[in-house]
Structure 1
Amino acid sequence: MLELFVAMMKEEWRVHSTIFGSLSFALYPVLICATAFMGSFLLPLIRPLLPFGDLALITHALFLLLGLMIGAFGLLMNEVMERRFGEASSLAYSARALPLSERCIFAHFVAKDTLYYFVLWVLPFVMGFALAAPFVGIPPAVPALLLLTLSLSFLTGLAAAFFLSMVYTRSKRVFAAVFILLAVAAYAAHLAGLTLFLPPALFRSFSWMTLLAACTLVVVPTVLAVLLTRPESAARVKHYTDLLTPIAQRLSVFPYPVLAAKDCIDLLRSGSAVGQTLFSFLLPLGVIWFFLSLLGPFLPASGILLLFAALTGVIASTMYVWLTMFETFGQYACLPLAVADVLKSKICGFALLQVVPAVFIAAVAVLAGEAAYLLPALTLCLAVSFYGLGVTVHLTGLSPSVLLYDPRVLVLYLLAVGVPLVVFITLSFINPWYAMASLVLPAAGWGIVQRGIVKWNGREVTGF
């Protein structure tokens, strides 16, 4: 079956290179390598504030989150492929055209994703760190060990997402039970002083037993995910009651209530309202909160809550991607609508979804005993989120899930969001109530949105 694996690798490359251009996309891992190389020179400055072990823990957690986000395709795969790329024929959906089972194709898909994104993300990061290691006094063995442990962190997230996605497609009730069981097991292990996230422990102290256990946590969920794949599943007919009219009536205050209602129905019927909230919002933020809690001795009082609120705002801004991943403007081309109309509708839907991060931050503030700083935390979170929306709309229009892989767009996005984010996080560390100054961000974001609407409305959107 080597031919199928090679064909899938070529297919993945052709999709990205067609969208961005071969050279532009080839520069993406170079960008990651350069970023890691330059960031490594900050280690001597960071070490007095943050021990190397804690920094390594955070780095491994980030690659765990990366694996989770890349692997969580199972909840949305059908809708994205059939509706957004319906004109293309993907090998992942060839079970009826080829003499191969869906289980076999899925196994090759897992292997392809593992190697492809390892080369795209993990390897360039470690190469950048390895190139800088001699200049910052890092022993040569450390980058080699880091390559192993970061790979295991990434694969752990990837395997967990594959497994949970396949359980979700089988039964939503079983998924909920498994998710609760894993959460309880993780909490019990934490109380017992045990760690279920083994790659950082392996990085601190190499052990063959720890390596074997870490590999087991990758292999077992992956094998179970393959076994849980529905063999030769047939298309199912689904029947729905009319939701467009009642939802549009409730959203009548929006400028385009019918379009906003359509977006809500897309989220509900695709299952992504639940799946995206779990995999792209709650799960990453839960992991971030856990690792931020380890930084308590190094941050001022209430610093963890405000830093977490800012990071929540960054992740909440990606909710715009939820609303745009299912379609392109070509589907609206036969209607009396401009690109600006669709963009404004998506922005209204985004505003509606901000209830999720608002409730989440309120719950975290109360549970953490920091309710006194709920207002600045909530303000910082939503301000960063709406500002991030403005930057995303201006840079990517209706194709954020695609164009953010363009190295030029990604650099501009990181600079545009990162600089003000650092400024307001610093202000909040000086005084939590200084975070209220972040109210200038939504105003700036709205100005950027207006420029983005003019920019994309003046272009012929071919879509991706």
Structure 2
Amino acid sequence: MRELFAVMMKEEWRLHATMFGSISFALFPVLIGAITFMGSLILSFIGEIIPGPTLSFLVHAQFLLLGIMVGGFGLLGQEVMNRRFGQASLVAYSSRTLPLSDRRIFTVFVVKDTVYYIILWVLPVIAGITLAAPWSGLPLSLIGTIALTLSLSFLTGLAVVFFLSTLYTRSMLLLAGVVAAGALFSILLLITGIVDPVCFFPPYALSRSFTVPLLLYSLTALMVPFALSIRFMTTEFPGREMHIPDRFSPLAGHLDRFRSGPTVAKDLLDLRRSGGLVGQTLFSFALPLALIWVTLAVLARVLPDTRLLITFAGVAGIIGATIYTWVTEFDAIAGYTFLPLGTPDLIRSKLATFLLLQPLTLGAVGAGAVISGDYGSLLPAAVLALSVSIYAASVMVWLTGLWPAVMVYDVKVLAASMLLIGPVLLGLIGVASMNSLFAFGSAVLLVPASLFIRGSYRRWESWEVAFT
């Protein structure tokens, strides 16, 4: 087990180091730590605006979201082996050639991903908070508690998505039934007042009151989903005779107005048949947005002037931009080398598919309007979300081409994307919060988005890498 873990860790490092270069990838956690350090320096000023408990909840919720997003990456049942790893010969395939069971490999795979991403994401944040302690005024004892509870928040998100992914591979009806039963049970507990609502988020409850029972409760809340995921995981998908009608020809016919109609049709069919469209929508889109809505709703109670729907629309635009990652993440780009298509043609095709899936972003904003009852801001919020989504996707295309899922760990790419997107998003949300009609001005983002996309065609035209 130890040897398998060491090999998987080395494999993960070499994979990323080969793609970005050892130095560039090694600087990624340094950048995360530096950002956290600078944020911790202004903690006293933030505390004057946002009460400590609310700020603590927001931070723990973000780490829960991070765990959900990391867990959702490639962990959608059969996509674990078939689509995440593609044609590469990785240790995950060892059960086919070595006396190693699928369950043992998956167990080590879970442990490896947990340790790897804690080192990559969580520890740099803790280091940044610790280094800023002399200026932020946080006692070291509190930092130790924060380190534990933030790690537990991350692992809880990871465990929940692993568990839901396991249910998803078994049966969509089983997944829907478990989620519905869990939601109903939680609502009943809230209505009866038997359980403190804080207990639904064990790591946050532990951060508020560090006791042994709460620590055991937090550990149980993440160990049970992990154990069930490992116990009931499967990589065996029994073959069956299937008769699939020709859906490509009629779909391509409907899309003939697009220059990349045939490849767009292929992308949509690939997403549908692989289960990626449903899985990604649940785990990489709906679940993070639901958590973001809860976080913003808590923030709005503290800051009454916050325009909840407008703020949510801006953030939904960023999440909506990740749809571009869906249509590139699991596609074997090397397969297109046998066709008379260049990289610009493929980028154009992926962008067309991305635009066709943007109703998901608009639907999220519509759901936010229904929940908040702020129908008057629905139209400007929708324009804001769509404009931000297209702009953020154009930046992603310009910086990463056809490989956004992996190149995000290049420190230069991450820094550039934050500088190009962050100030723009904050500025738009700030202006639109004064008057929702100002959100219509976000449509001007389509101009730089067009320039970024055109520039990406030239930038990536002759770019080739071994991992395609």
TM-score normalised by structure 2 residue count? 0.95
1:99 aligned onto 2:99: yes
Aligned residue type for 2:32: I
Pick from 244, 266, 275 the counterpart of residue 270 of structure 2.
Answer: 266
**Deviation at 1:147?**
0.7
Per the alignment, residue 322 of structure 2 pairs with 318
Return 5+ residue gaps in structure 2 as ranges: none
Aligned residues: 463
Return 5+ residue gaps in structure 1 as ranges: none
**Deviation at 1:320?**
0.1
**Deviation at 1:462?**
4.4
Per the alignment, residue 182 of structure 1 pairs with 182
**Deviation at 1:176?**
1.1
Task: Quickly say closer, same or farther: Cα 1:80–1:349, change in 2 above 3 A.
Answer: farther
Per the alignment, residue 34 of structure 1 pairs with 34
1:449 aligned onto 2:466: no
1:299 aligned onto 2:299: no
Per the alignment, residue 359 of structure 2 pairs with 355
- C-alpha separation in 2, matches of 1:98 and 1:307: 52
Aligned residue type for 2:28: Y
- C-alpha separation in 2, matches of 1:363 and 1:459: 41
- C-alpha separation in 2, matches of 1:79 and 1:241: 23
Please give the per-residue CA displacement for 1:210-231, whole angstroms capped at 9, x wherever unaligned: 111000001111111111022x
CA contact (8 A) 1:302 1:370 kept: no
Q: SS of the residue aligned with 1:68?
A: helix
**Deviation at 1:241?**
2.5
Task: Quickly say closer, same or farther: Cα 1:30–1:77, change in 2 above 3 A.
Answer: farther
CA contact (8 A) 1:66 1:157 kept: yes
**Deviation at 1:301?**
4.9
- C-alpha separation in 1, matches of 2:259 and 2:80: 27
Per the alignment, residue 384 of structure 2 pairs with 380
CA contact (8 A) 1:74 1:166 kept: no
1:285 aligned onto 2:289: yes
- C-alpha separation in 2, matches of 1:238 and 1:244: 20
- C-alpha separation in 1, matches of 2:168 and 2:74: 8
Task: Quickly say closer, same or farther: Cα 1:163–1:349, change in 2 above 3 A.
Answer: same
CA contact (8 A) 2:344 2:461 kept: yes
CA contact (8 A) 1:73 1:165 kept: no
Question: Would you identify which runs of 4 or more consecutive aligned residues in structure 1 move more than 6 Å?
Answer: none
Aligned residue type for 2:239: R
Q: Which moved more, 1:369-378 or 1:22-31?
A: 22-31
- C-alpha separation in 2, matches of 1:320 and 1:115: 28
Q: SS of the residue aligned with 1:333?
A: helix
**Deviation at 1:14?**
1.2
**Deviation at 1:155?**
0.7
Per the alignment, residue 252 of structure 2 pairs with 248
Pick from 341, 364, 369 the counterpart of residue 368 of structure 2.
Answer: 364
Please give the per-residue CA displacement for 1:392-447, whole angstroms capped at 9, x wherever unaligned: 01000000001111011000011101010111011012212111111111221111
TM-score normalised by structure 1 residue count? 0.96
Q: SS of the residue aligned with 2:463?
A: coil
- C-alpha separation in 1, matches of 2:461 and 2:74: 33
Aligned residue type for 2:236: S
Q: SS of the residue aligned with 1:94?
A: helix
Task: Quickly say closer, same or farther: Cα 1:104–1:83, change in 2 above 3 A.
Answer: closer
- C-alpha separation in 2, matches of 1:457 and 1:133: 47
Task: Quickly say closer, same or farther: Cα 1:248–1:161, change in 2 above 3 A.
Answer: same
Per the alignment, residue 8 of structure 1 pairs with 8
**Deviation at 1:35?**
0.9
Aligned-residue CA RMSD (Å): 1.8
Pick from 201, 206, 212 the counterpart of residue 205 of structure 2.
Answer: 201
Aligned residue type for 1:194: P
- C-alpha separation in 1, matches of 2:253 and 2:276: 23
- C-alpha separation in 2, matches of 1:335 and 1:184: 51
Pick from 226, 233, 236 the counterpart of residue 233 of structure 1.
Answer: 236
**Deviation at 1:5?**
1.2
